[in-house]
């Protein structure tokens, strides 16, 4: 759902942090003329991830998506690492999008059945708003841009306010 609410810029590059093994996001973004680079240590090979990092590190991406990832990571330090990876990917010029699934919203994390046989996952079951503080450690500007039934999507960036204002102003002769 997060991918469908973003106004994608054709020709841009997206860092898909924790993008999983499937190509749904890549296929959707290809239709938007956006290149999607997936980095996922649990669902992609070391070789794939090394190649991905070469493309997206140190501000190499225009956007980053972290969809339904933070809510399945039990350890706060590991969640922080994921947010830091998104911040590194977009640098000071790009925007990251975090979609968070709230589960049962009880605040009590628990193991879950994963999609693969005999595997377990984890769900934090936390309200999406409780993740904002962690995102804000790495991004100056964090805004909720969508609220669904059990999900919220946040937009985050480190773009200085004066740069944003300049981008929004029409060019001379273009108004």
- 52-78 average pLDDT score: 96
Output the six-digit token pair for 92.
């000071």
Which H/E stretch holds residue 21?
none
* C-alpha span between 26 and 98 (Å, rounded): 17
CB 62 within 8 A of CB 77: no
What SS3 state is found at 163?
A: helix
171 pLDDT above the threshold of 60: no
CB 61 within 8 A of CB 9: no
- For the stretch 84-143, pLDDT in tens is 999 999 999 999 999 999 999 999 999 998 666 667 889 999 999 999 999 999 999 999
What's the mean pLDDT when you consider all of the chain? 90
β-pairing verdict for 35-39 and 13-17 = parallel
- For the stretch 2-54, pLDDT in tens is 899 999 999 999 999 999 999 999 999 999 999 999 999 989 999 998 999 99
């Amino acid at each position: 759902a997060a991918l469908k609410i973003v106004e994608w810029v054709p020709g841009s590059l997206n860092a898909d942090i924790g993008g999983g093994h499937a190509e749904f996001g890549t296929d959707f973004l290809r239709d938007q003329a956006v290149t999607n680079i997936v980095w996922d240590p649990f669902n992609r090979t070391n070789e794939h991830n090394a190649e991905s990092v070469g493309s997206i590190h140190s501000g190499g991406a225009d956007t980053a998506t972290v969809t339904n990832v933070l809510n399945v990571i039990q350890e706060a330090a590991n969640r922080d690492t994921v947010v830091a990876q998104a911040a590194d990917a977009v640098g000071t010029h790009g925007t990251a999008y975090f979609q968070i699934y709230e589960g049962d919203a009880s605040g009590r994390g628990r193991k879950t059945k994963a999609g693969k046989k005999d595997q377990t996952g984890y769900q934090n079951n936390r309200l999406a708003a409780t993740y904002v503080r962690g995102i804000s450690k790495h991004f100056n500007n964090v805004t909720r841009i969508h609220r669904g039934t059990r999900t919220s999507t946040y937009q985050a960036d480190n773009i200085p306010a004066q740069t944003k204002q300049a981008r929004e102003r029409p060019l001379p002769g273009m108004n």
